[in-house]
Each structure stands twice: as C-alpha cells, then as structure tokens.
Structure 1
Amino acid sequence: MSSVVSNAQLNKRIISVIIFTFFCYLSVGLPLAVLPGFVHNQLGYSSFLAGLIISIQYFATLVSRPQSGRLADMLGPKRVVMLGLICCGMSGVLSIAAMLVQTLPAISLLLLALGRVFLGVGESFTSTGSTLWGMNIVGPLQTARVISWNGVATYLAMAIGAPLGVLLNQGFGLAGFAMLIMAMALVGFWMASRKPAIKVSAASRVPFQQVFSRVWPFGLALGLGTIGFGVIATFITLYFASRDWSGAAFALTLFSLGFIAIRLIFSSYITRFGGLKVSLVSLLIECVGLLVIWQAPSPWLVDAGAFMTGAGFSLVFPALGVEAVKRVPQQSQGSALGTYSAFLDMGLGLTGPVAGLLIAHTEMQSVYLAAALVVLLAVAMLLRMLRPSQLAEQPEQ
C-alpha cells in the first residue's frame, strides 16, 4: 500500500470524527453576528448586554474544558461528543423559545443566556471529545495530524457560520439559524451513535493537580500566542475604520487562509521536528506579522501582516498540544487536552477587555505592538523549555 493511500485513509478516519467538531463550531458561528442585534434592537437592551450575551458562551467553554477532558477519560470520547451535541441542540431550542417570548424582554434575555451556557458546554465537550476520539482511532503517533484537522474544521466552520447566520436571520429570524443548529445536533448525534466506542482504560488516572502541573507551561505559552489572533479578530475592523480604510473583512479572510493553508501543508513538521521547535518558529512568524500590522502605512501591508500572523499562529495549538498530552499516560490524555485547551479560551477571553483598556489610553495600532511583545514572551518560555534540563519528555506511569 502506498504512503499516499495510507495518508488518505488516515485522514478519512480522522475526518469521520472531526465532522462533529465542524457541526459544533458551525453552531457557534451561526449566532455570532445575529444575537447582538436581536438583544439591542428587538429586546431594547444596551450594547454592553448585547456583547455580554456573546461572552457568556466563552466563559462556559472555559469553565467546562477541564471537566470535558476528565469525562472523556472516564466515559469515553463517544459519550462526551454525544453529550456535547445535545447541549448544542439545546442552545437552538432555547434561541427559538427566546424569539417566541420577545415581548417579555427579561425572560427572552434569560433564555438566550441559558442557551449560550449550553452552547459553551457543548463546544468544550464536542471539540475535546472529537479530538480525543480521533487520537484513539489513529494512534499517538498521529496526534499532531488529529489536532491539525480539528483546527481546520473549527476555523472553516466559523468562517462559514457568521455570514450564513446573517443570511438565515434575514429570511427566518432567529428560528433560521436555530433550526439548523438543532438539525446538526440531531444528525451528529445519530452519526456518533452508529460509530463504535473506544474502550476506556481501567488503569488509574493521574490526579488533576498533577495533570495541571505537567500541562500548564504549554498551555500558558499557547494562551500568550493566542493574543495575536485575538487582537486581529476583535480589533482589525476598528483599526481600518480609525484610518478611514475599507476592506477589513479581507484581512480577516487572509488570516484564515494563512491559518488553514499552513495547517494542511506543514502539520507533518510537528512529528518531524518536534512540537517545541515548530511552535517556536511559528510564534516568531506570528510576532513579525503583528509588527507589520503595527507599522503598516497601507491596507495591503495590514493584509500581508494578517496573513503572516495567521500562518504563524496556525501550528502553535497542535505543536504545543502534542507536547502537552505526551506528558501524561494515555488514560489521562483527555484531561490534559481539556486543561491545555482552556488556556486558549482564557487568552481569547482576556484579549478583548485588556486590549480595549489599552486602546482607551493609547493609539489603536498600539494593541498590535503589545500583542507582539506578549508573543515574544511565549517565545522566551519555549527557549527555556528547549533546554535539556527542562520538562521531562516521558510521563510518569
């Protein structure tokens, strides 16, 4: 059998479970551009509350990430994925309920908030469970490939979700995207139920405190590296507006294209050169991209910087993720993956308010210099990790 055929079969097996991540993040993307307008215009609440409704989901994801990993270790990833899909579906049900009682704004807002909590838990359960499921199907040597495909599914779904949600909202109101979320949850649940479960190891698991102590350096480096993505996703539109430029959406598109292209083309480099070295080079590229945006005198240079930042950030999550999960035994890898992923959620959650405070006291472009300096801090951490005396390679059994 040729290596090409072998790779194609591996990818097919991975995609057969990563499809649940796609369903999940399409469910996340669909309401993003719709709910703030509904809360502000239809329910009559402030812009602050409109933004808070969106943020509730991120907080729920952050809090439930470690638990999703522990449950995947105990119950198996299949059950956790199915639970996650149920939660995603419930967010659709609650969105429809909120639309039906919009003449009672307080109740409608409460239902939306509860739906966002369900969606946040669904995101952490489905994504973590799908990744661990894929890792178990194809084996530990393909961990980088599984995490890379998971990221491609995530960003592709998010890129499709926001504009599709707006389109469905224009035609059918909240029920448009909510019905699609419910349909994906039902189809995904049915698909997952038909797949064979992964046998759960009966071996004793590493206590959470020990998992955290082995994973946190990689998670912290990931969280610092995430800041570059956060300031582009959150503030690039305002940056263009502050200079009377048009085309901010194209910069976001180029960021996504750089991210996906590098994931598809170079993910094998993680296995070949090691996660620490790949993430080190990746963070340096991300840093350069942010500095280009900071000093860019024209929109096309901002576009180039956004593409470079996306390309640089692309392999950071899988590269450091590979290093994190191999620090624990297989029966605790779900817990390690969930804990590690929580640092990404934390980085994204802190970026908005912290960068917003910085913008209030300095110029808009200063957030890109600040983000570059934060990414350099992650580079310094990795240089320290690369020393032979740092961080043992093998997990304690």
Structure 2
Amino acid sequence: MDNSLHRKENVNLQLITYVCFTFVGYFIIGLSLSVLPIFINKNLGFSLLIAGLVISLQYVSTFFLRAYSGKVIDGKGPKPAVLFSMISFSLTGIFLIIAYYFKLSPIISLSFLVITRLLTGCAEGMIGASPINWAIMAVGEKHTAKIISYNGVACYGALAIGASSGVTIEHKFGLYGIGILSIILGVLGFLFAKTKENKTNNNPQDTQSFWKVLRKVAPFGVCLALGGIGFASISTFITLYYNYFHWHNGALCLSVFGGLFVAGRLIFSNVINNYGGIKVAIACLLVETIGLLTIAFATNAQIALIGAGVTGLGFSLIFPALGVMAIKSVSPSSQGSALAGYGLFIDISLGIAGPIVGIVADFFGMQLIFPFSAAMVFMGLGLAFFLKRRSNLKKPAEG
C-alpha cells in the first residue's frame, strides 16, 4: 500500500512539472484579460464591438497554430512547442508595453494591441496540447483523464488568478507592470522547459493527417465549442457588465468562476470514468446554463457572483469529459493532432464569442449578453443529448 501511495504521489508530482507550463502561459493570458476591454473602450475610446474583436484576435491566431502545433508534437515532440510558446509570451509583454506608451494615440496603441493579441494566440496555440502530450508520454496513457483534468485546473486556475492580479497590477503600475511581468514569466518558463527531456512519438509512420483526425473529433469539439460560449462571455465582458450596472469588482467573478472550476475538477475527478463522458457533459452543460441564467437575471453583484461560480462548476468537466473520448477515437501516434484538433473548437468558441456578444451588447443592450450566452450553451446541451442517443444506437450494432 505504501509503495502504491508513493507511486501515485510520484505520478502527481511529475504531472505538475509538465502542467506548470500551462499555468505560466494562461496566467500571462489572464493578466491582461480583465483590463484590456476597459482600456480599449474607456481609455482609447473604441466601441465594445472593437474591444471584443481585438480580444478575440488571440483565438484566431490560436486557431491557425493548432494544426502546426499537433504536427510538431507528433513529429518532433512537445518540448519545441513549449519553448516556442514561452518566447511568444515574452514578446506579448514587450508589445503590451509599447501599446501603453502610445495610449495618447489610440490608433497606434490599438495597432500594437492587435500584435499583442496575435502573439498571445500563437503562444496559446503552441502551449494548448503540448504539456498534456508531454505528460502522457512521460507517465503513460492510463493517466490521460487525470492529466487533462490537472491541465485544466492549471489553465483556468491561472486565468482566474491572473485576471485578478492583472487588475491590481494595472491599477498600481499600468499596463507597464503587466508587460514586464509577462516578459519575466515567459523567460522563466523557457529556461525551465530547456532543462526537461523531450519525448517523441515511437511510431511516427502511423500518424494520420491532421484533417482526418479533425473529422473524427469534430462531434465532441462542436459540443465543447457551444459550452465554451459561457466562459467566453464571462472572461471578456464581465467587467464591462458590472460597470454597466454600476456594480463593483467584476474581476472577482473570474476568480470565483476559476475557483469553482478547480473545485469541480478536484471533487468530481472520477465521475468521467464512472459514468462516461457524454453523461458528464450533459450534466455540466445543464449546470452551466443555470449559472448563466443566474447572472442574466441577477439584481445585484452578489447574485451575479453566485451565477459565475455555478457557471464555473458546470464548465469544469466539459473539456476532459469530451476530450478523453476524442483521444480514444484516434491511434496513440495521432494524439497530438487529436488534442490540437479538439482544442480548435474551444478556440472557435472563444474567437466568435467576442464579436458576436459585442454585437449583442452594442445593438440590443448589455443586459442581453448572458441570456444569449445561456441559449448557446443550451444548444450544446441538446447536441450532447444527440451524441448520447447516437452512441446508444451504435452499441447494439457493435455488439
């Protein structure tokens, strides 16, 4: 028993040394997530639609880097992808500082913010699947569900901590402080990655094309994308939503969202293996819808905060629940591409949510953005029911 416990602790420690790269990357992303929409709208004087478009540029470049990332991971191993991402994160800090320097020239400042968001997307595209695949190669496929869950905790926990930290840093030091911290963390992440041994695919000849893999994981990815609309709406617009109703501390919603997200991953870590991915996804999408409706009909900041927490709890297991199934739909030699392709759909979700929700806010009113988001997630719930029904119909035939 002692040896078993020691092995378990050793595996957990190894996982942490890989998913820490995810934490660093998404902490840097979170630093500017809460402050840039307000900076673009209030300081530079651009519309909410423009603010949403600029924020969403990150997800556009992430989209295009996913396929390349999967190819690098399957062909050369995850280490080069992680190193590339850390360099890119450091560069985002440099351009963020330049954008802030030109804040009195809105067009120039916005142009550098566009570069910053595109670089952030490149960094996210390369870091998205890399630590997961690196950990799977290091500790074995039997730990895949745990690895994805740990990676998600690192991802959204870092976003939540980074978002709250970013507001505090921006208040005291401006975007200069966020830029400098981004540079330092990117360099430290790069140096740590350099010390770790790379892992490569043992059977590269069995690797399938990215687009063939993408077709296999697409049903799970579309469901994920619809579920991601709720998170995208909170992460991009919650501070502006609070400002609209003259509530205070909107960034706290991101922290509560992240806290309940992490709690969901830790408390319900075994439900995917026990009940299956589709059933877990259905339950989570339902909870997320309830959380978004709570925000939509909130009459004060405290109720909205509760809604953000419920949304985080609902969103917590959607990615691993469907992700494990996506990975199982391809051969082990194509898992890098499978995770990259599956991750594309959350990029699509986050990419289109900014401008679409921005349009809803600009033309129909800020108060309608969360009813709209709840409707999108509810569509994901319907798709999950369809996937479950299709799975049930396949079982007799396979038997």
Please report the TM-score for the alignment, with normalisation by the length of structure 2: 0.86
Instruction: Identify the residue that residue 13 of structure 1 maps to in structure 2.
Output: 14
Structure 1: give runs of 5+ residues left out of the alignment: none
Bigger Cα displacement from structure 2, 65-74 vs 200-209: 200-209
Structure 1 77/311 Cα, relative in aligned 2: closer, same or farther at 3 Å? same
The alpha carbon displacement at 1:309 in A equals 1.6
The alpha carbon displacement at 1:175 in A equals 3.8
- 1:176-191 equivalences under 5 Å are 176-191=177-192
SS at match of 1:30: helix
- 1:116-265 equivalences under 5 Å are 116-169=117-170, 172-201=173-202, 202-237=204-239, 239-240=241-242, 245-246=247-248, 248-265=250-267
CA distance in 1, matches of 2:301, 2:101: 43
Counterpart code for 1:46: F
Bigger Cα displacement from structure 2, 357-366 vs 375-384: 357-366
CA distance in 1, matches of 2:29, 2:165: 12
SS at match of 1:388: helix
Structure 1 133/295 Cα, relative in aligned 2: closer, same or farther at 3 Å? same
Instruction: Identify the residue that residue 354 of structure 1 maps to in structure 2.
Output: 356
Structure 1 306/91 Cα, relative in aligned 2: closer, same or farther at 3 Å? closer
Determine if the alignment matches structure 1 residue 31 to structure 2 residue 65.
no
Counterpart code for 2:269: S
SS at match of 2:129: helix
Kept in 2: contact 1:24–1:127 (CA 8 A): no
The alpha carbon displacement at 1:376 in A equals 2.8
Instruction: Identify the residue that residue 76 of structure 1 maps to in structure 2.
Output: 77
CA distance in 2, matches of 1:236, 1:102: 23
Instruction: Identify the residue that residue 380 of structure 1 maps to in structure 2.
Output: 382
Kept in 2: contact 1:81–1:127 (CA 8 A): no
Structure 1 375/108 Cα, relative in aligned 2: closer, same or farther at 3 Å? closer
CA distance in 2, matches of 1:51, 1:305: 22
The alpha carbon displacement at 1:158 in A equals 1.7
Instruction: Identify the residue that residue 316 of structure 1 maps to in structure 2.
Output: 318
Bigger Cα displacement from structure 2, 225-234 vs 10-19: 225-234
CA distance in 1, matches of 2:169, 2:243: 27
Structure 1 320/12 Cα, relative in aligned 2: closer, same or farther at 3 Å? same
Kept in 2: contact 1:255–1:310 (CA 8 A): yes
CA RMSD of aligned residues (A): 3.1
Structure 1 319/163 Cα, relative in aligned 2: closer, same or farther at 3 Å? same
CA distance in 2, matches of 1:34, 1:237: 8
CA distance in 1, matches of 2:297, 2:256: 18
Structure 1 267/86 Cα, relative in aligned 2: closer, same or farther at 3 Å? same
CA distance in 2, matches of 1:347, 1:323: 19
Structure 2: give runs of 5+ residues left out of the alignment: none
Structure 1 5/250 Cα, relative in aligned 2: closer, same or farther at 3 Å? same
CA distance in 2, matches of 1:242, 1:108: 25
Counterpart code for 1:316: I
Number of aligned residues: 393
Kept in 2: contact 1:384–1:390 (CA 8 A): no
Structure 1 176/212 Cα, relative in aligned 2: closer, same or farther at 3 Å? same
Please report the TM-score for the alignment, with normalisation by the length of structure 1: 0.86
SS at match of 2:330: coil
Structure 1 118/244 Cα, relative in aligned 2: closer, same or farther at 3 Å? closer
Kept in 1: contact 2:28–2:182 (CA 8 A): yes
Kept in 1: contact 2:34–2:163 (CA 8 A): yes
CA distance in 2, matches of 1:352, 1:180: 26
Deviations 1:131-177 (A, max 9, x none): 21122222222212111111111222222223433444455554432
How many percent identity over aligned positions? 38
CA distance in 2, matches of 1:59, 1:353: 12
Kept in 2: contact 1:218–1:320 (CA 8 A): yes
CA distance in 2, matches of 1:38, 1:243: 18
Structure 1 353/200 Cα, relative in aligned 2: closer, same or farther at 3 Å? same
The alpha carbon displacement at 1:249 in A equals 4.2
CA distance in 2, matches of 1:40, 1:356: 12
CA distance in 2, matches of 1:291, 1:37: 24
Bigger Cα displacement from structure 2, 176-185 vs 74-83: 176-185
Instruction: Identify the residue that residue 389 of structure 1 maps to in structure 2.
Output: 393
CA distance in 2, matches of 1:368, 1:103: 33
SS at match of 2:393: coil
Deviations 1:326-371 (A, max 9, x none): 1111111111111111111211222233234344565655443333
Structure 1 270/6 Cα, relative in aligned 2: closer, same or farther at 3 Å? farther
Structure 1 46/21 Cα, relative in aligned 2: closer, same or farther at 3 Å? same
Instruction: Identify the residue that residue 114 of structure 1 maps to in structure 2.
Output: 115
CA distance in 2, matches of 1:39, 1:281: 37
Structure 1 27/7 Cα, relative in aligned 2: closer, same or farther at 3 Å? same
Bigger Cα displacement from structure 2, 53-62 vs 307-316: 53-62
Kept in 2: contact 1:83–1:125 (CA 8 A): yes
Determine if the alignment matches structure 1 residue 46 to structure 2 residue 50.
no
